[in-house]
Amino acid sequence: MAKKIALLFLCLTLYADTFDRACVPCHQRRGVALKPIFFDYLLYYSSERGVKGAMREFLLRPDPKKRLYKKGPIYRHRIDPGTLQKALDEYWERYKVIGKIK
């Protein structure tokens, strides 16, 4: 029983932390902070759908003209679309300001 519960928790944390596993470590290593990038996207695209859509598009097919982060060479993210979707949902939940203002 205890083992099952432990396993369940493990699964939940694995599920919940896609963003922390798939995005954060590399960004930390390279000194590319994800929080300011999020707010740049939020300012530019303003809606949840706009932010997630633009990031998804950019991370799957990087286009220098649509780039918001202008420092350093462009990085070609290789993330499978399913993981990316989950990661972007968590990214949004973490930093969205809508709801916190109310």
Is 84 among the residues that bind ligand HEC (CB under 6 A)?
A: yes
Cβ proximity to ligand HEC, 9 vs 53, nearer residue:
53
Site for ligand HEC in 16-75 (CB under 6 A): 22-23, 26-27, 30, 32, 37, 55, 58-59, 67-69, 72, 74-75
Contact 55, 23 (CB under 8 A): no
Cβ proximity to ligand HEC, 32 vs 48, nearer residue:
32
Torsion of CA 9, 12, 14, 20, to 10 degrees: -110
Q: For the residues of 11-26, what is the DSSP string, one character each?
A: HHHHHHTHHHHHTHHH
Q: How far is CA 76 from the centre of its chain?
A: 15
Residues forming the site for ligand HEC (CB under 6 A): 22-23, 26-27, 30, 32, 37, 55, 58-59, 67-69, 72, 74-75, 77, 79, 84, 87-88, 91
